[in-house]
């Protein structure tokens, strides 16, 4: 203001100084009055009954000194009032002067030319600037607000008084716009007034409160007063809660914290809004009780705990203020008015801020009590369309209202009025609205007629499960289906429930499948248990589907369907166990199906024999099933019922070691499933010994029978995935290392390859490598050859240099020792191993060891006299070079070993396989070009040889010749294998 109006700046400074001095004076007065009040409060015990401080007779408690102080206080208060009046007058004068500061010439122009708008006054400009900046801040235009403030640096936008003295702040720009030029009511003059308050009118026994007529209490004193009042209110609320004795609902209040429709509402005010200082109106006690609403009770025997667990998936909230309002439905027109009185104060300030859930109590009350069906339908339509895309909390609130409505009006009106609203939204474009429909079906299930529950609602959910594309909607559908299964009592719906279970288990979403196992299957199993069909229909039908699936799997097993059926069986194990307990001898009931688990276990064991042992997925799924089955039924049941049946089928004994015994079952998936699904259920010493002995017997039998080792490998793979069993597996292999039969020792050597990748390097160094070194010096050459794949895997996975050197020396002995010069099988195994591990091995090992020895083997194969051996080595070398061509090879190694090896191999292929020779020629040509252009193409040095065939003619010729090859698909795939 000073810089705009220089001629009044001096007066303004004087006013500010005067105001500052008066404020200081006021502080002294307040301090003095505070001391006086404290003194009076301390003396209140001997002062009698006092209404207000104004009524105190100071003469009774003070001497002459006190009287003089009172007179001084009166003088100071008079001076303070006069000073305030002076300040107000000065502010008004200054503001008026500021408004009139318009150049005289501009006023003349405006008077002479009315069409010219009157120029903006300084005060108007500052006021508009303040409102514009306020608008920018409220609507998140922060950068614009900063720029605007910088352009008006002569104004303080944080303080309205900077605009003009004694000027009331107008409404914001939005309010001004909405008024559209309507003149705003002029601000009324305000004066300071005092109100006398009797201490007895305040709640509690508070005697040290400052009188309410003093408006200038300190912040700390005001806070203390508020805290004391809140404390008194909480005490009264607690007392009220302790005196109330309403009957708890049958659902423990966790499903829905509202009173049933059969109870009269005699206490409609929530605790937080009751006025404890006034009696309740008499009309509250005159409300008539309504007759109890009857609901169809299903002919079921569900335990209250299980029913409570099912209903807990209906997520509602009645523990908040708004939740309590939604849950309390009025019983008369008079209580509707009371409801409106409680809710409207919350609705009015919030409805414009998208707090539309505040409208739910009003909608529900009106929909319950309105006499016109059309109006009720419209209100319920508004309820379901209240929020465009309701979030989780808003949906819970709407569900709470729907259930409260249902409990109030009964099943007939729920069917006629609420269900149509759900049906209309079943295909809504917003998934949040469809989710509300799915959740409503489950929440309303207890309040529907049983015929509707098992027909219309079940069909709605089935349609949504099959057609809805949103995972969260189908998840809610599955949970609501589970609740329906907890109430359904129509046995004809069993087949439909079974198909729904399979359909939901096949869902691609993990959250949907999880909901099936968590909610739907337990509820469906509980129903089938009551029907007596769990062990006679449900589980046998799943086993039949599994068996049929395995029989069809000879041409390709559908592993996803197998997973669906087996996961359903796993979830049915607990209810099957419950059936066994119900029919056990220690109960008073008759033993109806005591042998059912054993019979089903025998059937499952027989099915296991049909599984393809090479399918790791099938082995894993069945192992998990048997593990859970045995863990659920206990160790005694496992030892007496499950293990004997497996042992009877496997027939492991000394007389069956010979191949003539025809013990083909040991080559089936029964072996790994028994080992990993049954023998690992319990981890005591005798259990571990049994597992070790079983694996040793299988290894021995398969080796001596010259049978395939797939079942033993599957066991090692499944067990090796868990580090707990690494020591146990190494114990089994050491048994094979020291076995008297060379066949068993060969098997042990090959099984080490499966363990190396999963075992930590310490165990590799301490247990694996010493065992392999022992086998590499075995008297039998076949045993030594069997160790090569394991040595190669170590070179591919281990990082310890000392360990790698030991393995490298052993491989070098195989290649360089004269005794192995004519060992065709050994050379084949080494070339195969180099081609497998070379691309992933350490580059130095590949360049200095693998490629030079491959060069030597290729060169030596040129002089091989036996044609069959020559073609075997050449074919294996071709696959190895094809895999290694994808690696980066230095120029030196390329010139000295890789290219010479390829040329030697091409010489063999020219005579043995012209198709291969074409590919080798292309590879050699590209390698030669790369070597020639190495200096110009360093940036492309890491490109693979196979990917560098960029010439159109070369590619056409290459691909045409590839199609003519008669070699295996695996060998051809290696040509295009990328570097890992």
Q: What is the pLDDT of residues 187-231, one digit of tens each?
A: 444 545 444 444 444 444 433 333 434 444 556 666 666 666 766
Question: Contact at 8 Å (CB) between 910 and 888?
Answer: no
Residue 388: predicted pLDDT: 85
Tell whether 140 is covered by a domain.
yes
- In this predicted model, what pLDDT tens digit does every residue of 348-393 receive, in sequence order? 456 654 677 878 888 888 888 877 888 888 888 888 888 888 899 9
Tell whether 129 is covered by a domain.
yes
Tell whether 916 is covered by a domain.
no
Q: Is 915 helix (H, G, I), strand (E, B) or coil?
A: helix
Largest distance between two CA atoms of the chain = 139
Query: What sign results for the dihedral spanned by CA atoms 196, 198, 202, 207?
Result: positive
Tell whether 155 is covered by a domain.
yes
Give burial (CB, 10 Å; 0-12/13-18/19+) of 168: exposed
Q: How far apart are CA 152 and CA 418, in angstroms?
A: 59
Q: How far apart are CA 660 and CA 946, in angstroms?
A: 50
Tell whether 130 is covered by a domain.
yes
Q: What share of the chain is helix, strand, coil (3-state, %, to 5)?
A: 70, 0, 30
Residue 165: predicted pLDDT: 63
Residues written for the chain: 980
Query: What sign results for the dihedral spanned by CA atoms 843, 849, 853, 855?
Result: positive
Report how far Cα 907 is from the mean position of its chain's Cα atoms: 62
Q: What is the DSSP letter of 543?
A: H
Total-model pTM: 0.61
Q: Which residues contact 103 (CB under 8 A, 6 or more apart)?
A: none
Residue 671: predicted pLDDT: 93
Q: Which residues contact 319 (CB under 8 A, 6 or more apart)?
A: 257
Number of folded domains that form the chain: 1
Distance separating the N- and C-terminal Cα atoms of the chain: 76
- What DSSP element (H or E) covers 462? helix 458-467
Range of the domain at 142: 120-179
- Taking phi first (over 0 means left), then psi (-120 to 50 degrees means alpha), and beta for anything else, what does residue 48 get? left
CB atoms within 10 A of CB 790: 26
Tell whether 73 is covered by a domain.
no
Report how far Cα 887 is from the mean position of its chain's Cα atoms: 42
Q: Phi and psi at residue 126, in whole multiples of 5°?
A: -70, -35
Q: Which residue, among 584, 691, 694, 581, has the nearest Cα to 632 in the 3D structure?
A: 581
Q: Which residues of the chain have pLDDT under 50?
A: 1-7, 38-63, 108, 110-115, 183-184, 186-189, 191, 193-216, 246-288, 348, 353, 588-594, 653-662, 939-955, 957-959, 961-980
Please give the structure tokens belonging to residue 297.
């009770």
Residue 520: predicted pLDDT: 96
Tell whether 700 is covered by a domain.
no
Tell whether 160 is covered by a domain.
yes
Q: How far apart are CA 287 and CA 264, in angstroms?
A: 8
């Amino acid at each position: 203001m000073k810089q705009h109006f220089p001629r009044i700046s001096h007066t303004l400074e004087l006013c500010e100084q005067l105001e500052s001095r008066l404020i200081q004076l006021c502080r002294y007065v307040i301090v003095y009055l505070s001391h006086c009040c404290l003194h009076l409060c301390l003396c209140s015990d001997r002062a009698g009954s006092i209404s207000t401080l104004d009524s105190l007779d100071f003469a009774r408690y003070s001497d002459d000194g006190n009287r003089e102080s009172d007179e001084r206080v009166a003088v100071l208060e008079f001076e303070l009032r006069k000073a305030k009046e002076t300040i107000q007058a000065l502010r008004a004068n200054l503001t008026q002067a500021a408004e009139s500061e318009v150049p005289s010439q501009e006023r003349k122009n405006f008077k002479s030319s009315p069409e010219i708008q009157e120029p903006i006054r300084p005060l108007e400009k500052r006021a508009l600037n303040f409102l514009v900046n306020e608008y920018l801040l409220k609507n998140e235009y922060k950068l614009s607000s900063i720029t605007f403030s910088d352009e008006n640096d002569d104004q303080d936008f944080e303080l309205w008084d900077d605009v003009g003295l004694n000027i009331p702040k107008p409404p914001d720009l939005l309010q001004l716009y909405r008024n559209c030029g309507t003149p705003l009511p002029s601000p009324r003059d305000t004066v300071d007034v005092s109100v006398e308050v009797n201490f007895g009118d305040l709640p509690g026994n508070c005697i040290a409160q400052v009188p309410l007529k003093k408006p200038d209490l300190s912040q700390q004193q005001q806070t203390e007063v508020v805290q004391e009042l809140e404390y008194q209110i909480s005490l009264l609320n607690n007392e009220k809660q302790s005196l109330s004795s309403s009957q708890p609902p049958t659902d423990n209040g966790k499903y829905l914290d509202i009173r049933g429709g059969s109870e009269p509402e005699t206490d409609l005010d929530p605790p937080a809004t009751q006025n404890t200082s006034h009696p309740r109106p008499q009309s509250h006690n005159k409300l008539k009780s309504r007759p109890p609403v009857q609901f169809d009770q299903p002919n079921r025997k569900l335990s209250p705990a299980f029913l409570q667990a099912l209903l807990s998936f209906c997520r509602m909230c009645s523990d908040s203020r708004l939740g309590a309002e939604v849950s309390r439905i009025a019983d008369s027109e008079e209580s509707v008015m009371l409801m409106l009185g409680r809710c409207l104060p919350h609705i009015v300030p919030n409805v414009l801020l998208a707090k539309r859930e505040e409208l739910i109590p009003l909608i529900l009350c009106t929909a319950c009590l309105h006499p016109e069906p059309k109006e009720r339908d419209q209100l319920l339509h508004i309820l379901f369309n209240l929020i465009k895309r309701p979030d989780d909390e808003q949906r819970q609130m709407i569900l709470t209202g729907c259930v409260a409505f249902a409990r109030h009006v009964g099943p007939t009106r729920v069917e006629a009025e609420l269900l149509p609203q759900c049906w209309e939204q079943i295909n809504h474009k917003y998934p949040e609205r469809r989710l509300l429909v799915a959740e409503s079906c489950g929440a309303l299930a207890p309040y529907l007629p049983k015929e509707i529950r098992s027909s219309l609602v079940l069909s709605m959910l089935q349609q949504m499960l099959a057609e809805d594309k949103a995972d969260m909607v189908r998840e809610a559908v599955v949970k609501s289906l589970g609740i329906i299964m907890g109430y359904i009592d129509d046995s004809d719906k069993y087949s439909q429930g079974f198909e729904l279970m399979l359909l939901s288990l096949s869902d691609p979403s993990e959250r949907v499948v999880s909901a099936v196992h968590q909610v739907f299957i337990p509820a469906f199993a509980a129903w089938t248990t009551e029907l007596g069909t769990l062990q006679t229909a449900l589980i046998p039908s799943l086993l039949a589907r599994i068996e049929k699936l395995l029989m069809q799997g000879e041409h390709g097993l559908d592993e996803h369907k197998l997973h669906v059926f087996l996961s359903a069986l796993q979830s049915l194990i607990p209810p099957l166990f419950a059936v066994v307990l119900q029919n056990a001898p220690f109960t008073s009931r008759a033993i109806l199906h005591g042998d059912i688990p054993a019979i089903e276990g025998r059937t499952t064991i027989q099915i296991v024999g049909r599984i393809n042992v090479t399918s790791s997925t099938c082995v894993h799924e069945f192992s998990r099933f048997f593990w859970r089955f045995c863990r659920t039924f206990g160790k005694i049941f496992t030892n007496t019922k499950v293990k004997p049946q497996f042992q009877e089928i496997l027939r492991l004994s000394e007389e069956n070691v010979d191949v003539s015994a025809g013990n083909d079952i040991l080559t089936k998936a029964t072996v790994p499933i028994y080992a990993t699904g049954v023998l690992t259920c319990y981890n005591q010493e005798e259990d571990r010994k049994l597992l070790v002995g079983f694996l040793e017997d299988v290894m021995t039998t398969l080796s001596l029978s010259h049978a395939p080792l797939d079942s033993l490998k599957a066991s090692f793979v499944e067990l090796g995935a868990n580090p707990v069993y690494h020591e146990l597996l190494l114990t089994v292999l050491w048994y094979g290392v020291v076995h008297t039969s060379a066949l068993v020792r060969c098997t042990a050597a090959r099984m080490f390859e499966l363990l190396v990748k999963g075992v930590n390097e310490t165990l590799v160094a301490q247990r694996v490598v010493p065992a392999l070194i022992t086998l590499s010096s075995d008297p039998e050459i076949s045993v030594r050859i069997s160790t090569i794949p394991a040595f190669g895997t170590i070179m591919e996975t281990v990082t310890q240099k000392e360990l790698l050197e030991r393995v490298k020396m052993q491989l070098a002995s195989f290649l360089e020792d004269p005794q192995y010069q004519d060992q065709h099988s050994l050379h084949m195994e080494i070339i195969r191993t180099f081609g497998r591990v070379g691309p992933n091995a350490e580059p130095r090992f590949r360049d200095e060891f693998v490629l030079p020895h491959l060069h030597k083997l290729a060169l030596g194969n040129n002089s091989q006299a036996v044609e069959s051996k020559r073609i075997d080595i050449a074919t294996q070398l071709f696959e190895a070079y094809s895999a290694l061509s994808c690696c980066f090879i230095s120029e030196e190694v390329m010139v000295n070993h890789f290219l010479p090896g390829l040329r030697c191999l091409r010489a063999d292929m020219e005579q043995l396989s012209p198709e291969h020779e074409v590919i080798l020629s292309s590879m050699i040509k590209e390698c030669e070009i790369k070597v020639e252009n190495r200096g110009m193409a360093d940036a492309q040095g890491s490109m693979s040889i196979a990917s560098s065939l960029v010439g159109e003619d070369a590619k056409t010729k290459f691909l045409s010749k590839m199609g003519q090859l008669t070699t295996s698909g695996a060998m051809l795939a290696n040509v295009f294998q990328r570097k890992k």
